[in-house]
């Protein structure tokens, strides 16, 4: 195994923490907006790339679905 320098390890840890926080926040948004799609994503292992072919949704697909759900808060038919 190749060795890495301490500052490279620290950078990797920081990136991991950022990624973990972002994923947690995305999960919460998805749970609130589309709970059934969240459960399906979770059931299939919460894939975050479309690199592998899987039967369930991956994060890029979920982001497209969320985009389709975006509504202008000034629209009259928005439930609050």
In a domain, 48, yes or no: yes
Per-chain mean pLDDT for the chain: 87
Instruction: Classify residue 77 by burial, with Cβ atoms within 10 Å: 0-12, 13-18, 19+.
Output: exposed
27 Cβ neighbours under 8 A, 6+ residues apart: 38, 46
Q: What's the pLDDT score for residue 77?
A: 61
Structure tokens at 52: 């592998």
Q: What is the pLDDT of residues 45-75, one digit of tens each?
A: 888 888 877 888 888 898 998 888 888 888 7
pLDDT confidence tier of residue 36, bands split at 50, 70 and 90: very high
In a domain, 62, yes or no: yes
In a domain, 11, yes or no: no
pLDDT confidence tier of residue 19, bands split at 50, 70 and 90: very high
Range of the domain at 51: 20-68
């Amino acid at each position: 195994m190749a060795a890495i320098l301490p500052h490279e390890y620290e950078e990797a840890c920081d990136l991991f923490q950022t990624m973990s926080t972002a994923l947690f926040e995305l999960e919460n948004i998805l749970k609130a907006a589309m709970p059934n799609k969240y459960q399906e994503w979770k059931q299939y292992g919460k894939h975050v790339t479309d690199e592998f072919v899987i039967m369930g949704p991956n994060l890029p697909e979920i982001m497209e679905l969320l985009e389709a759900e975006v509504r202008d808060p000034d629209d009259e038919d928005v439930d609050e």
